[in-house]
Structure 1
Amino acid sequence: MQLDPQDQYRRAVAFARLHEGERAFVMANAWDAGSALLLGQLGFPALGTTSAGLAFGLGRADGANLVRRDEALANARSIVAATALPVSGDLESCYADCAEEVARTVRLAADAGLVGASIEDATGDPGDPVRPLREAADRVAAAVDAARALPFPFTLTARAENHLHGRDDLKDTIARLQAYEEAGADVLYAPALPDADAIRAVRAAVGKPLNVLAGGRAPLSVDELSACGATRISVGSAFARAALGGFLQAAREVRDQGTFSFTGQAPAHGEINHLMAARPPA
């Protein structure tokens, strides 16, 4: 299903405006159409996709270039169709080796109904996990150029992946985010910053809206992250992992104990069925 252009423009403007608030907003990450529908009904203002959640749902590892671009965009399209909310795509490294294909990925993301997306500087190669700064910045610039050519305000997020790959070099992370800001990114994002001081340091060093990943060793609340300077908070794969965690706990109970007490904690079939039957508000 192709999203109506007026609807996509409405979602795009709404998403861009969310980044103008004084308090951080939570962009909840959905991994399929059903989770998108439920998150929308719970009142979140915007959704993101999750590359890890998609990979796990496909029975694959995350971050190893095992999910194809067409699979990620098909997943995004199904999520967009399940909600009236703005949806931003987790496009990993844009599934491309060259700047031209980075730009094509952004255009295809817009065709899928997304009103924003992220591009990261990870390579998917465990031996050399993060791209050189200049190469990464050039890729961000290519994504920005493609986004600016669209007929609606596509919010482009640039990610510095150092801390997800054990490179706890905050100085380099800040230099990368500054370069991506100069390249034109609308939102800046360094997943897995170690603490509030690091978030504040990044906030002081850049001028664009800042996305912060929820969770970590000492999870901070929405209010605490707002006070540190976050504009947007994403949950990444945490909701998907929470769902898988409940599944594993239930399956292990049956395997190890031969009991089914987990069924008393699961939502009733009728409740889930009713929620899934509801149409997203226009």
Structure 2
Amino acid sequence: MAPRPLQLVVDARYFGAKASQLFDSKREHSYVAKVLRSDLDVLKFPHPKSDDIHRKAGGILEFSWRTTKNSPLYQAVQNAMALTETAKGLQVMHEHSIATVLLRTVQSRPLPSPSTRGPPLAAVSESHTGTKALSGMTSPPSSLPNPPVVAFEDKVSEYRKAQERVSELETRLMEEQEIRDHLAAEGRLRDRQWREQLEENQSLRNRLHEVELALEEEKRTNARLRDQLADGVREATEERTQRVLAESALADIRRECREPFVVPALFDAFLSLSKLTSSDP
């Protein structure tokens, strides 16, 4: 029995600036296919045909291959999908702005076997009045229950809607994560500014303490200078007093020299007597 044909469909969801570039309406399909194939080379995926690459909502690039199960192409796609689930593969996906890679297999529904088929319908005959009836049946055809049939396209549509909802949730989570990262960055910035302000305040306090110490030292220096100035004034007063005494003695000598009344031998005694009389209060 020949292998049943199937279709491998991969949805790669992009994010960030790369998603904006790929899903720009002005971008040609050839550019999108070139970028996708470059990313697939890194992830070890085979190249899909250009006609099998489609842009979907939510930043999703859909691409597919037609093959059979256990074929070399099938195994290559499975191996590439296994790589995307490893830490290295996730890192490569993040570096190429790929958020998720999802694989689904689409295959034709098998025909029912003769054993599972129902009894053959009786021939349909048309009466002369134009109404149709089933021969061999007493009830009208409208009384037969219609078995529920779920079309495969409906399943695919439901899957894509669910995937779009997941993409919207992931986009919302990414936006919320960006907001949290932004708030965390602002918090770190405020903490750094607060620490810098504390360091600056501490530096100012240290500088103020140094200025206070310098002022205290200057006060002590001024006190010493005032003491030295007082000593100088006192010494100057004593010098002036001695000068007055010397001038008084000199005046007496000059007066005696003009009109001497003692002999030179008594000059020393006269000076001593003059000093004694001048030193009395």
TM-score normalised according to structure 2 size: 0.22
**Larger RCO, structures 1/2 (Cα 8 Å, 6+ apart):** 1
